[in-house]
Copies of this chain bind each other. A is one copy, B any other.
Amino acid sequence: MPGTVQSLERAAAILQVVAGSGGTLGVTDIAAAVGLPKTTAHSLLRTLLGVRFVEQDREGRYALGQGLLRLGSGHLDVNELRSRASNWADALASRSGHAVRLASLVDAQVVVVHHVFRPDDSAQVLDVGTLLPAGRTALGAVLAAFAPHRSVRGLPDTGRAEVTAVRARGWAADEGGHQPGSAAVAVPVRGSTGLVVAALGIAGPAETVLDGRHQPRPRLVAMVQESAQGIARELGWHG
């Protein structure tokens, strides 16, 4: 096919086969699967080994390598994120008197990965694992605005202008997104490369989160931003 780099197309086909076979095939089988001579496939696999897009066990079988898996995962270990965030989230809940949630994009969807209850006796529901609409919650709006990948599911087209506004302000707020009478404010959390890897937010009664003009109270925004910056420093961002 003119105009394309044949060896890249062949390498992509090899990676599809390796991914689909789950580390069970050697060079002979991979060559057969992609329709290439064995030595051609071996030559391509040797380079894929070198750039760590594949790895090879002692029996000669190939699996996807960390070099490729890290590309796909955006360099973020959700467990590390939660580990780094939990102390800051606990402290933020205490200082602000509000519930704290941390959300990330998982498969283009907004997922709560950490949740600290409001420090009082009220009945609360643990949100970890739940999906949030990208357009109607502060956490979702932040991730939609700052996400490194363009495709965020569930974002209405009319939300694009909101995205620009959120990027400019550095925070998003919602009113009633979680439940009637409540409000929330969220800010981005950056990872080691400076890319936004999560959103950190507080939520509680609308009258404590918002001021008289239905804007989030600046003191609360500053608290959330300070906590987000602390988490980012622990993740290795020094911007």
Contact = CB atoms under 8 A, between A and B. Distances in A.
Interface residues of A, number: 53
Contacts of A149: 22-23, 63-64, 69
A63 B150 contact: yes
Q: This chain: how many copies in the complex?
A: 2
A69 B68 CA distance: 9
Given A4-B46, A5-B43, A47-B9, A148 B63 contact: yes
A37 interface: no
A12 B12 CA distance: 11
Interface in A44-93: 44, 46-48, 50-51, 53, 55, 57, 63-64, 66-75, 77-79
Given A129-B113, A148-B63, A47 B5 contact: yes
Given A50-B4, A113-B129, A195 B22 contact: yes
A206 interface: no
Interface stretch (A13-21, A178-186, A222-230): A13-21
Interface of A: 3-5, 7-9, 11-12, 15-16, 19-20, 22-23, 43-44, 46-48, 50-51, 53, 55, 57, 63-64, 66-75, 77-79, 106-107, 109, 113, 126, 128-129, 131, 148-151, 193, 195
A72 B64 contact: yes
Contacts of A75: 19-20
